[in-house]
Amino acid sequence: MRHIVRPDRLHRCIRRAAALLALGLPLGGCTVGPKYVRPSTEVPPAYKEQASPGFTTAQPAAAQAKGKWWEIYADPELDSLEDQVTVSNQSLKAAQAQFEQARAAVQVARAEYYPTVSGSGAATRTRQSQNKALFSATSPVNYNDFQLPIDASWEPDVWGRVQRTVEAARSEAQASAADLAGVDLSLHAELALDYFELRGLDTQKQLLDSTVVAYQKALDLTESRYKGGIASAVDVAQAQTQLETTRAQDEDTDVQRTAFEHAIAVLIGKPPAEFSRMPTPLTAPPPPIPASVPSELLERRPDIAAAERRVQEANAGIGIARSAYYPQFLLTGEGGFESSRLGTLLQGPAGFWALAGSAAELIFDGGERRGMTEEARAAYDESVDNYRQTTLSAFEDVEDNLSALRVLQDEAKTQAAAVAAAQHSLDLSISRYKGGVTSYLEVTTAQSAALSDEVTAVSILTRRMAASVLLVKAVGGGWNVSQIPSM
């Protein structure tokens, strides 16, 4: 039924209804579903490796830089490349776009707190049949109808369904923010790994280049001795074989180096053809990396933070599923102007309004709501298990790299002694060969051992640098959960 009202009264009614709706917005009734509690997980009091005899605690001066953790390596070229990752890496930009989508989804969910209002306009020209039932001779055969209605509807969040939906969307957006931080950390760590691998190959290349020169001199010496009748053709062949084998190994290093150079180019957002760097041998060992304490790891790892946020999202999903058991309330309102003449459309008698409320309860659904609730609970259990597994894997990562750094440090000392011993053995073999005491086979054997030990020493240094980067990544870099936006 429509009531004709004056425009001023209509405006007062609309304002009063809007005020009542605004007062009702924060008055959410009973929010159903379990209250979120962060899942418990077993946290050791200290890392196992910290109790090892060879473990050394990093000094405060060696603490990681907040944010730009790669600055602990004091390498300007690495700093420059890492900064380019932040600006130009396409995978990082894609992760940023995913976060923006998740943040926009929170705004979409919050829109359900508020009523929806729509306006429209219509104009019709109608001709009635004079032979229709109940046609009156006083009724016009032809008439116009102009309408300018405004419709509003609102579903009060009595049971907290909207609140839980917003909570779920907010948790997912926060998880997406943590995912973004995780991608950022992984990409910067990957660049540092490729960079140090590249420098390790530069060191190996430098070693092989000098070895090729030394082997060429040895071949020249052997050929001179052969021409003088002191050495045999076998000695020459062995020296030639040793030289060519090492030269091939030297050339193969270029293949590996090129691949890492290309990988770095892609990470900084450039085509491989547009990037190259001069060889820079790796010489210094990695700086001490503070591992903090295990309890801090829960606050510093982006993947743990993302997993925890998704537990809260799943918890909110239970509340959303349970809200389906309760009745739904809907308030609707309609108001506007209607007239047969356009000139009188906005006059007082042309106004109309209508208010209505309804409630609906699903009586029988064949177990659908129960199934949805059980599904939501199972999803929550899965998210808790994933959170705990992520935490365990994080502890494993830290322990692995702490162990690697400790063992590789000891191995580097042992290998340095092996290099010195192999070089001494080579010097003795060359002296014995020149003195005619032994054949060139002994020299080539000593050469192979010396080169192998030196290459191994370079490999150990490269692995130490990689383990330090992986430890920084394992403890979360300079990130902290406080950087997650509150939404």
pLDDT in tens, 445-475: 999 999 999 999 999 999 999 999 999 999 9
Give CA torsion, residues 220, 222, 223, 226, to 10 deg: 160
User: Tokens 């890496």 map to which residue?
Assistant: 89
Question: What is the mean pLDDT of the segment spanning 357-386?
Answer: 95
Q: Are 421 and 454 within 8 A, CB to CB?
A: no
CA end-to-end distance (rounded Å), the chain: 44
Round to whole Å and give the CA distance between 168 and 387.
17
pLDDT digits (tens, 9 = 90+) for 149-195: 999 999 999 999 999 999 999 999 999 999 999 999 999 999 999 99
Structure tokens at 35: 């209250």
Q: Is 334 exposed, middle or buried (0-12, 13-18, 19+ CB in 10 A)?
A: middle
Cα distances from 111 to residues 104, 106, 328, in angstroms, run 11, 9, 18
pLDDT digits (tens, 9 = 90+) for 85-106: 999 999 999 999 999 999 999 9
What is the pTM for the complete model shown? Answer: 0.85
Q: Are 466 and 197 within 8 A, CB to CB?
A: yes
Cα distances from 202 to residues 111, 350, 400, 413, 461, in angstroms, run 58, 87, 27, 21, 12
Give the pairing type, strands 122-127 and 328-339: unpaired
Q: Read out DSSP for 354-385? A: EEEEEEE-----TTHHHHHHHHHHHHHHHHHH
Q: Could you tell me the fold of the domain covering 45-106+160-330+375-483?
A: Outer membrane efflux proteins (OEP) (1.20.1600)
Q: Are 246 and 208 within 8 A, CB to CB?
A: yes
- Dihedral angle sign, alpha carbons of residues 60, 63, 67, 68: positive
Q: Are 226 and 233 within 8 A, CB to CB?
A: yes
Round to whole Å and give the CA distance between 359 and 487.
32
DSSP state of 64: P
Give the helix ranges, DSSP H, for 151-281: 161-227, 233-267
Measured at the alpha carbon of residue 208, what is the angle toward residues 204 and 210, in degrees to the nearest 5? 120
Q: Are 269 and 84 within 8 A, CB to CB?
A: yes
pLDDT digits (tens, 9 = 90+) for 318-336: 999 999 999 999 999 999 8
Backbone angles phi, psi at 297, to 5 degrees: -60, -35
Q: What percent of the chain has pLDDT over 90?
A: 71
Give CA torsion, residues 277, 281, 285, 289, to 10 deg: 10
In 350-484, DSSP assigns E strands to: 351-360
Give the helix ranges, DSSP H, for 268-367: 294-300, 302-322
pLDDT digits (tens, 9 = 90+) for 271-324: 999 999 999 999 899 998 876 778 888 899 999 999 999 999 999 999 999 999
Round to whole Å and give the CA distance between 433 and 429.
6
What are the boundaries of each domain within the chain? 45-106+160-330+375-483
Measured at the alpha carbon of residue 276, what is the angle toward residues 273 and 281, in degrees to the nearest 5? 150
Residue 342: predicted pLDDT: 83
